[in-house]
Amino acid sequence: MSSSTLELARQLIRLRSLTPDDAGCQDLIAQRLASIGFALESVHCGDVSNLWARRGQAKPLVCFAGHTDVVPTGPLDQWLSDPFAPSVREGRLYGRGAADMKSSVAAFVCATEEFVAAHPQHQGSIALLLTSDEEGVAVDGTVRVVEKLKARGELLDYCIVGEPTAVSQLGDTIKNGRRGSLSGKLIVKGVQGHVAYPQLVKNPVHLFAPALAELAATEWDCGNAFFPPTSWQISNIHGGTGATNVTPNSLEVQFNFRYSTASTPDTLRSRVHAILDRHGIDYTLDWLHAAAPFLTAEGALVAAVRAAVRAVTGIEPELSTTGGTSDGRFIIDICQQVLELGPVNASIHKLNEHIELAALDALKSIYRQMLERLLLPA
């Protein structure tokens, strides 16, 4: 199999773009977009590279958003081939970023090239927003471009994020939203001492245990038609000196809420504090709000993407809000309709990451048909 999408995906995989290093991916894409009439704007923040590319000034503005950075490879001796030397075998393309998300980026570009060649006078505008800071801390990536666009009143009408959303086959799942993320770092204070003299100590583990049971058993909300119930989970817990005969002086607990639109950060924070206070715990608690939930309801974008998926794959996609956070959480600030659609996610961040060869051009076709449905007269 040979195609423009496959060849571009290979070129991108060869570039060792470990977060936050773009390694030249955006320059490669920018050259191709410039040749078909895109105006280019590079937004560099520290070590992070961002690209805003736009063709046209009219509305509606349809944007493809994604990232050129990838996660570390892990042990190289457990890869069947060099993760940065794209390999085709048994009907799959292997390499770091093959599924997350250099194939989607390649499909964005090739779909746009085909669409512009066929419809050079199309209505509206097309844009690409790319960052090299999605897999990292994500503070100098998409959010910085969004801030710049918002400051000058440049809003998007529709946005597709190329995250790998499929469960078992391309097109089976569209992400029409994501849960919010609220984390807490709790320090429960105690009094260290010898375990043989419990009357002289305050064991913070024992003090926290009843509150932990209540926090774990609490129903924070029931979710709604699009979101599952809000989940509270401990991610790390630590206390003690390592000795068997000394009680801890303090207990550190890190936890996270993945929360739905049925809750707010303020209500979740106040309920946690109320539980801890009710149990009489001496504590400090620092909060970090990493992402707000977002949801795109039925509308022009959902209809266009669903129709494109049906036309290319023959299946009816399911709308879902499961999974972690994505850069959609930033884009929703300047775009009311944001969806995520990309390849199967089973191998992402794993050894021997891959994508089915057949999915490459199918994904390009879905993206192109989406443009046709949104930018061509009915």
φ, ψ (nearest 5 deg) of residue 96: -70, 125
Q: Which of 100, 113, 134, 140 is catalytic?
A: 134
Query: Between the CA of residue 310 and those of 11, 151, 189, 307, 316, what are the distances in Å?
Result: 29, 38, 57, 5, 6
Measured between alpha carbons, how far is 348 from 22 in angstroms, rounded to an integer?
Answer: 19
Annotated active-site residue 318? The verdict is no
Measured between alpha carbons, how far is 332 from 336 in angstroms, rounded to an integer?
Answer: 6
| Residue among 226, 231, 101, 104 at smallest CA distance from 176 | 226
Annotated active-site residue 282? The verdict is no
The half-sphere exposure of 70 on its side-chain side, counting CA atoms within 13 A, is 29
The DSSP H or E segment spanning 161 is strand 158-161
Which tokens sit at 26?
């955006």
Measured between alpha carbons, how far is 178 from 94 in angstroms, rounded to an integer?
Answer: 28
Strand 61-67 relative to strand 158-161, pairing = parallel
φ, ψ (nearest 5 deg) of residue 344: -65, 135
Residues designated as active site = 69, 134
